[in-house]
Amino acid sequence: MTGEDLARSAARLVGSPWRLHGRDPATGLDCIGLLAAALDRIGRPIALPTGYPLRLRKLAGWMPDPTALGFVAVTGALEPGDVVLLQPGLDQIHLAIAAAGGGWIHAHAGLRRVVHQSVLPAGPILGQWRLISSIKV
């Protein structure tokens, strides 16, 4: 399983409806549900948190350790399948997945669906992770 696999898996979820705490592509996904569904489809099922508010003041106690989920923190050039954590606004946290061929896949609350957009959603990047099997040594 590589970052390319994750990027392709996420791309197949484009068009899924958006729903807060959503974990099922048929009924809706939020950004965390998108990551969980994309990982599940490449044979790497994980349980990610639910029950968080739409406005999230702090990550502590909410965000699981990415290394325990098979990711490693990286910096620098983005590769397909990289997952970034953004802060698009006050008390807002959002995940996006780098798409193969460029752009970003994320669950867009305003558009009410999973989208592939050419530009990264607004806000500073708080973290960037890559599947451990994707790391080149």
Domain span including residue 113 = 3-134
Q: Provide the pLDDT for residue 48.
A: 79
The predicted model gives 46-60 an average pLDDT of 68
Average confidence (pLDDT) over 76-104? 91
Record the pTM: 0.89
Averaged pLDDT for residues 112-129 = 93
Q: How confident is the model at residue 90 (pLDDT cuts 50, 70, 90)?
A: confident
Domain count, the chain: 1
The CATH number given to whatever domain includes residue 54 is 3.90.1720.10
Burial status of residue 111 (CB atoms within 10 A of its CB: 0-12, 13-18, 19 or more): exposed
pLDDT tens-digit series, residues 14-44: 999 999 999 999 999 999 999 999 999 999 9
Own/partner contacts of 97-102, CB < 8 Å, gap of 24 or more, are 97/6, 97/7, 97/10, 97/34, 97/35, 97/38, 98/3, 98/7, 99/7, 99/10, 99/11, 100/4, 100/7, 100/8, 100/11
Kindly indicate the confidence band of residue 137, based on its pLDDT and cuts at 50, 70 and 90: very low
